[in-house]
Amino acid sequence: MAATVKYDDVEVGQEIPAVDYDVRRVNLVMYAGASGDFNQIHWNERFAKMVGLPDVIAHGMFTMAQAGRFVTDWAGDPGAVVDLGVRFSSMVIVPDDDQGATVTVSGVVEEKLEDNRVVIGLTARSGDAQVLSKARAIVRLT
């Protein structure tokens, strides 16, 4: 876990460096077990293609979880995240190979609020696609 970020050390406009999160089919199967979302589009290539998808796709909430992980790792405290919201704007396509897919998450401090809270604007991409839009977190720092 990263050192806890201090409110006084954060400035509006400060960039939070990007982090890559690998996504393999096994991650999707594990997520399905944890979430109870066993929709076949997340693990069965034949079914995903039959319903018009290019391949198996990651759960939207799995993708959102990577953004949450990014923020909690940066803040150094999972309990610091007060709010996290996103819109799902594109799919994370996960091929059945040794590479899978990558979700790259980065952020910028957009605003400092009262009570040691900051607003973090998040960007999440997979390949050339922005997979989350309007992604924002409110984090309470020490």
pLDDT of amino acid 128: 96
What digits encode the pLDDT tens for the residues 57-73?
999 999 999 999 999 99
Q: How is the chain split into domains, by residue range?
A: 7-22+59-140
Instruction: Please state which of the four CATH numbers 3.10.129.10, 3.90.1720.10, 3.40.190.10, 3.90.420.10 is assigned to the domain occupying 7-22+59-140.
Output: 3.10.129.10
User: CA 92 to CA 57: how far, in whole Å?
Assistant: 5
pLDDT of amino acid 4: 87
pLDDT < 70 positions in the chain? 1-2
Whole-model pTM?
A: 0.95
Q: Select from 109, 103, 110, 77 the least CA-distant residue to 89.
A: 103
User: CA 79 to CA 69: how far, in whole Å?
Assistant: 12
pLDDT of amino acid 2: 63
Token pair of 25 as six digits: 């089919």
Token pair of 125 as six digits: 């991409």
Q: Residues near 63 by Cβ (< 8 Å), separated by ≥ 6? A: 88, 92, 103, 124, 126, 131, 132
